[in-house]
């Protein structure tokens, strides 16, 4: 991705920035000259921001629970007070805490997944759009999933939440198309993150089976997801809005 200064002086918000895809995206935006706001409920995000600042990049961490209205409102007041604008937002915060068939699911799990994955994206998008409208537009990228494009056995609530993210993305894209705000979603399949590695650490056969599920024969790399996020956030994607981009090794082509 390199230091191309492709986002020089842009103000970029990344939620779920403490680890995984969010952290990698924050680092990539910073390396290309952006002022990056890292938001996460996990305080480890502060260490990521400090690491970026130590490399001479512009980054700041702000703790935020995207499912909490007051917390999101505070985050955007901070962005407004600090930068006075928001150019790009990557709504990446999300959870996956489900492994049962639909009829065996719990209301508690349903509420937790929907609160973060759907309400969290909705709340952030509301504030992002209101902020971007003040300065003539911007770009929003939401993290959905291949589970938002089809079925996800034993993850029906998660699938429903990601289908909802796709719906929010498409609807907002049309509503604000003439206002200079582009809204797109990425739909990753299984990606090689620390969370994934922990899940398969004691089961090599499971890791092989998950890789084989993808037509290319492997899971995705974080960098491959981040590349798509940077493209959708850039001027090169100026005619792209309302898109749901699978990053899935061919999974949805079957």
Any idea which residues carry the catalytic annotation? Answer: 158
**Cβ-contact 72, 79 below 8 angstroms:** no
Q: Which two tokens stand for residue 240?
A: 């792209």
Residues 6+ apart with CB under 8 A from 49: 26, 36, 38, 59, 60, 61
**Cβ-contact 131, 80 below 8 angstroms:** yes
CA distance 182 to 238: 8
CA distance 76 to 214: 38
**Cβ-contact 33, 10 below 8 angstroms:** yes
CA distance 102 to 115: 18
**Interhelix angle for 120-133 vs 156-175, to 10°?**
20
Residues 6+ apart with CB under 8 A from 166: 144, 148, 149, 185, 187, 244
User: b/e map of 158-168 (b: 16 or more CB within 10 Å)?
Assistant: bbbbbbbbbeb
Using CB atoms within 10 A of its CB, is residue 242 exposed (0-12), middle (13-18) or buried (19+)? middle
Other beta carbons within 10 Å of 184: 24
């Amino acid at each position: 991705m390199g230091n191309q200064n492709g986002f020089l002086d842009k103000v970029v918000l990344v939620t779920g920035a403490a680890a995984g895809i969010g952290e990698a995206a924050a680092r990539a935006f910073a390396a290309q000259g952006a002022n990056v706001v890292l938001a996460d409920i996990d305080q480890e995000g502060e260490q990521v921001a400090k690491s970026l600042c130590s490399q001479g990049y512009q980054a700041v961490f702000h703790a935020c629970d995207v499912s909490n209205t007051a917390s999101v409102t505070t985050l955007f007041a901070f962005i407004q007070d600090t930068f006075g604008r928001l150019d790009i937002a990557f709504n990446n915060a999300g959870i996956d805490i489900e492994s049962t068939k639909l009829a065996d699911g719990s209301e508690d799990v349903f509420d937790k997944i929907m609160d973060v994955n759907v309400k969290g994206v909705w709340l952030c998008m509301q504030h992002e759009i209101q902020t971007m409208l003040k300065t003539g537009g911007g770009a929003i990228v939401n993290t959905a999933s291949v589970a938002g494009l089809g079925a996800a056995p034993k993850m029906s609530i998660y699938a429903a939440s990601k289908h909802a993210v796709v719906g929010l993305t498409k609807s907002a894209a049309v509503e604000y198309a003439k206002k200079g705000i582009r809204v797109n979603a990425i739909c990753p399949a299984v990606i090689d993150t620390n969370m994934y590695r922990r899940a398969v650490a004691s089961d090599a056969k499971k890791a092989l089976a998950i890789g084989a599920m993808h037509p290319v024969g492997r899971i995705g790399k974080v960098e491959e997801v981040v590349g798509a996020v940077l493209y959708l956030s850039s001027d090169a994607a100026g005619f792209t809005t309302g898109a749901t981009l699978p990053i899935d090794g061919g999974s949805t082509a079957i």
